Chain A
Amino acid sequence: MQKNSPVINEKVAFETLEMRGITKRFPGVLANDNVNFDLRAGEVHALLGENGAGKSTLMKILYGMYHPDAGEILINGKTVRINSPTSAIQQGIGMIHQHFMLVPTLTVAENVALGLPSSRKPLTDLDRVSERIISLADKYHLSIDPSAYIWQLSVGQQQRVEIIKALYRGAAILLLDEPTAVLTPQEVNELFAIMRQMQSDGYGLVFISHKLHEVISISERVTVLRDGRNVGTRLTCDVTQNTLAKWMVGREIEFIKSTDKPQVGEVRLALEDVSCRSDRGVEGLRGVNLTVHSGEIVGLAGVSGNGQLELAEALTGLRPITKGRILIEGEDVTGKKPAEITEKGLSYIPEERMKDGMIRDFSISENLVLREHHKMPFSKHGFLQMSYINDHADRLIEQYRVKTPSRKTLAKSLSGGNIQKVLLARELSREPRAIVAAQPTRGLDIGASEYVHEQLLMERKKGTAILLISEDLDEILALADRIAVIYEGKIMDILPRETATKEDIGLLMAGVHPGETIRNEKCD
């Protein structure tokens, strides 16, 4: 490397990209089955499909992380071999992964410089890298401080670092794997603005999503994958949301709504003036009063981090409370252990389903008996009854339509939707008296969400009391009979569904009572 030569790569020349007949098999799954896909400079091509459809696999093949069993890749009409991320980068391909590939303990500039030759070899040239980051960031309005540590940045900002990393390496093709899944609605708009500008600068962008409205608003063309196969590629203008949904799921989708009147019975869950601390030691809940009756779904709406997690954990006995009482079917369970509360018939679907709900390295059948393994008929005299446990697993896998090669499959290798099904199977099959469901459809695709909603409504019909904690207002409005809004650890208000509007809930979520006038303090 010549002294002071620019180590910043120019954008690679790119006209067209074509993937032909890509097939990729994992043990027990055909992730891509003869898939075709193409991309032109200056377009956003959406790749749509449910979880597990094979979208990430196809893009990881393009990025050299997986090696296909069959198929070829052509760039600008010429066959290329991409067998590592390094060769993908040389071909001008950059990937923004679903799980970011950043080193949290390094700065933005260090993350960008990592793996690139330096102009001051063997020393790093972070000053030059920072300058170039700033100029790239200015061009695409990314506003990033090169000297900030990654752990200090919000998820949206981290995503921008990923984009800068790719641009810095001269990428002309950007693969964005579910980039909106982790963003707030406002950040999604900002990302779309960045994408549009890159598009007009001649970049080719692949946008992966399972959210129909996003695909329709950002893409020129859309390709749908289902079970590893192409369903079709169309100009986005030529298709409707319903067609895409049908292609994706393989059948008509009915957007579920509970319409019948609830058969409300006695109070099953009650929080009386409950306060507790959050993980950071500050007040997480501040005098919460809430009841859930038999046969009703109470929705708990709120911006994340306003006490939802604390409330769920207080109810399930996972978090000690500092004040108040918690009652299950009229019985005081304050201070009881989680296991005792489980015994009272409370089921819990935790927000972090992989971390708090399952054991990653246990099989499905083991995960299915986590709660009840010590009881008859799963164990006798301290010995696990494997044949009963296995039958139980097979029965639930079928009943809850879990898609898995076998009951021995480890939980960690299931897709999000199937993990949630296993969790539901475990929690619902014990015939609970009450359920706390936290963000039960977060990260799930349409089909799996629909399934979860169906199950919750069925429980409601059976007379179970359900507390549905969700940040998705549409979900709450579709399912809940009463809607409680939480803000800074307090219940702002509880609205019956019939009179609740999105606007009012939105205001309550921001800590404002509808009708109240908001004044800027500076104007006083």
Chain B
Amino acid sequence: MISDLLSATVIIGIISSGIRLTTPYLFASIGEMFGQRSGVLNLGVEGQMLLGSFVAFYVTLKTSNLWLGLLAAMGVGALMGLAMAFVTVNLHATQGISGIGFYLFGMGMSNLLFQKLVGTVEGVRGFQKISVPLLGKIPVIGEIFFNHNALVYLAFLLVPVAWFVLNKTTLGLKIRAVGENPEAADSLGVSVAGIRYLTVIMGGVFSGIAGASLSVALLNVFQQNMTAGQGFIAVALVYFGSWKPFGILGGALLFSMVNALQLWIQVLGIPIPAELAVMMPYILTLLVLTLSVSKGRGPSALTKVFEREG
């Protein structure tokens, strides 16, 4: 039975689905990274994902237009980001607590809307696999890397783009400065509030896409609480990746591979209790986080309120 896991098709299957499963983590985590680099910890990612997931699903269901669905998910993500920014930047609310508030809101709201507007389990036709010309035909490699839906490619493209924005643009410089020493940035005329609004809203948009990637690209259904903690894992990945896009990529791949492995274990009926298999990614989260605490130092102003005195 265990030997089933070692066959070529299964290994290719695991890696390929691992790559696919990375999508929501990458979007949510990279978005969260921008917020944290500017000093805002948003624990509401899970809620933003759930609502984004539902809205993308619902709009797609009604209009049959996937891109419209995706856009709607980005919109609700942005709105939730806006609310989070207002509460933390203007009202100086404690970031951790308000994030949990937004998580609960997103979860409750997506459940409610689902029950009122849909009610039963329905499927949609989601983003389809696109085989990259030529590359998609390469044996093994093509199957693993170049036969995915559009969002998977976008997610991987996001990593170098995020790195570039953060390290090579004036906006990235401002974000890094605001997250390390907002007083210094403010004294040079950088709008601390403006930058934080921008990153938190951007984070919301990416969380919305992350949610959509579940409901209209990976699973093509909506279920209550379908994110199952992935939003929180995405926050943890930011720490794991030391607030760097490529670090996050590494972490996201690791988690998704474990997740894929666990799914295949269930599919192949290997006699490990299903509950235990499902727990694997979470146990890994805890392990990795404990081991990586000493590794990086986060942005100095993370979770700190900024207020100009006088």
Residues of A within 8 A of B (CB): 24, 26, 60, 63, 65-67, 84-86, 89, 95, 97, 100-106, 110-111, 113-118, 121-124, 165
State whether the Cβ of B20 lies closer than 8 Å to any Cβ in chain A.
no
Residue numbers in A under 8 Å from B288 (CB-CB):
none
Q: How far, in whole Å, are A85 and B185 apart by their CA atoms in the complex?
A: 10
A128 to chain B, nearest CB (A): 13
Q: Is the CB–CB distance between B188 and A114 below 8 Å?
A: yes
Closest to B168 in A: A123
Q: How far, in whole Å, are A85 and B183 apart by their CA atoms in the complex?
A: 11
The 8 listed contacts between A and B (C-beta, < 8 Å) are: A97-B187, A101-B181, A104-B181, A106-B180, A118-B170, A121-B170, A122-B171, A123-B170
B308's partner among A65, A101, A122, A123 (CB-CB below 8 A) is A65
Q: How far, in whole Å, are A26 and B310 apart by their CA atoms in the complex?
A: 8
B170 to chain A, nearest CB (A): 5
Closest to A102 in B: B184
Q: Is the interface of A mostly helix, strand, loop or mixed?
A: loop
Residue numbers in A under 8 Å from B184 (CB-CB):
100-103, 111, 114
Q: How far, in whole Å, are A65 and B309 apart by their CA atoms in the complex?
A: 8
B187 to chain A, nearest CB (A): 5
State whether the Cβ of B273 lies closer than 8 Å to any Cβ in chain A.
no
Q: Is the CB–CB distance between B187 and A101 below 8 Å?
A: yes
Q: Is the CB–CB distance between B168 and A124 below 8 Å?
A: yes
9 extra interface residue pairs, beta carbon distance < 8 Å, beyond A110-B173, A115-B174, A124-B172:
A24-B310, A85-B189, A103-B181, A105-B176, A105-B300, A114-B174, A116-B188, A122-B170, A124-B168
A89's partner among B169, B181, B183, B189 (CB-CB below 8 A) is B189
Residue numbers in A under 8 Å from B169 (CB-CB):
122-124
State whether the Cβ of B143 lies closer than 8 Å to any Cβ in chain A.
no
Residue numbers in B under 8 Å from A67 (CB-CB):
310
Closest to A67 in B: B310
A84's partner among B176, B180, B189 (CB-CB below 8 A) is B189
A65's partner among B173, B176, B180, B187 (CB-CB below 8 A) is B187
Q: How far, in whole Å, are A123 and B181 apart by their CA atoms in the complex?
A: 21
Residue numbers in A under 8 Å from B300 (CB-CB):
104-105
Q: Is the CB–CB distance between A124 and B173 below 8 Å?
A: yes
Residue numbers in B under 8 Å from A104 (CB-CB):
180-181, 300
Q: Is the CB–CB distance between B190 and A115 below 8 Å?
A: yes
Q: How far, in whole Å, are A121 and B189 apart by their CA atoms in the complex?
A: 17
Q: Is the CB–CB distance between A86 and B189 below 8 Å?
A: yes
Q: Is the CB–CB distance between B176 and A103 below 8 Å?
A: yes
Residue numbers in B under 8 Å from A124 (CB-CB):
168-170, 172-173
Residue numbers in A under 8 Å from B309 (CB-CB):
65-66
State whether the Cβ of B177 lies closer than 8 Å to any Cβ in chain A.
yes
Given A118-B170, A123-B170, A124-B173: A66 in contact with B310 (beta carbons within 8 A): yes
Residue numbers in A under 8 Å from B308 (CB-CB):
65
Residue numbers in A under 8 Å from B186 (CB-CB):
85
In order of increasing CB-CB distance, the 7 nearest A-B pairs are: A66-B310, A86-B189, A115-B188, A101-B184, A101-B187, A115-B190, A103-B181
A34 to chain B, nearest CB (A): 18
Residue numbers in A under 8 Å from B172 (CB-CB):
124
User: What is the count of residue pairs linking A and B with beta-carbon distances less than 8 angstroms?
Assistant: 80
Q: How far, in whole Å, are A123 and B190 apart by their CA atoms in the complex?
A: 16
Residue numbers in B under 8 Å from A123 (CB-CB):
168-170
Residues 266 to 310 of chain B near chain A (Cβ within 8 Å): 300, 308-310
B187's partner among A24, A85, A106, A121 (CB-CB below 8 A) is A85
Residue numbers in B under 8 Å from A85 (CB-CB):
186-189
Q: How far, in whole Å, are A182 and B181 apart by their CA atoms in the complex?
A: 20
A56 to chain B, nearest CB (A): 11
Q: Is the CB–CB distance between A102 and B189 below 8 Å?
A: no
B23 to chain A, nearest CB (A): 27
Q: Is the CB–CB distance between B181 and A115 below 8 Å?
A: no
Central interface residue in B174, B183, B300, B310, by most chain A CB within 10 Å: B310
B194 to chain A, nearest CB (A): 12
A65 to chain B, nearest CB (A): 6
Interface string of B226-258 (1 = CB under 8 A from A): 000000000000000000000000000000000
Q: How far, in whole Å, are A97 and B174 apart by their CA atoms in the complex?
A: 20
Central interface residue in B171, B184, B309, by most chain A CB within 10 Å: B184
Closest to A86 in B: B189
Given A103-B185, A124-B170: A114 in contact with B310 (beta carbons within 8 A): no
B215 to chain A, nearest CB (A): 33
Residue numbers in A under 8 Å from B188 (CB-CB):
85, 89, 101, 114-116, 165
Central interface residue in A63, A95, A124, by most chain B CB within 10 Å: A124
Residue numbers in B under 8 Å from A117 (CB-CB):
170
Residue numbers in A under 8 Å from B187 (CB-CB):
63, 65, 85, 95, 97, 101
Q: How far, in whole Å, are A343 and B177 apart by their CA atoms in the complex?
A: 47
Residue numbers in B under 8 Å from A102 (CB-CB):
181, 184
Q: How far, in whole Å, are A113 and B172 apart by their CA atoms in the complex?
A: 12
Closest to B189 in A: A86
B39 to chain A, nearest CB (A): 12
Q: Is the CB–CB distance between A106 and B168 below 8 Å?
A: no
Q: Is the CB–CB distance between A103 and B310 below 8 Å?
A: no
Given A65-B310, A86-B189: A114 in contact with B171 (beta carbons within 8 A): no
Residue numbers in B under 8 Å from A95 (CB-CB):
187
Q: Is the CB–CB distance between B189 and A115 below 8 Å?
A: yes
A106's partner among B176, B189, B190 (CB-CB below 8 A) is B176
Q: How far, in whole Å, are A67 and B188 apart by their CA atoms in the complex?
A: 17
Q: How far, in whole Å, are A64 and B76 apart by their CA atoms in the complex?
A: 38
B207 to chain A, nearest CB (A): 24
Residues 200 to 217 of chain B near chain A (Cβ within 8 Å): none
Closest to A87 in B: B189
Residue numbers in B under 8 Å from A114 (CB-CB):
173-174, 177, 184-185, 188, 190
Q: How far, in whole Å, are A101 and B183 apart by their CA atoms in the complex?
A: 7
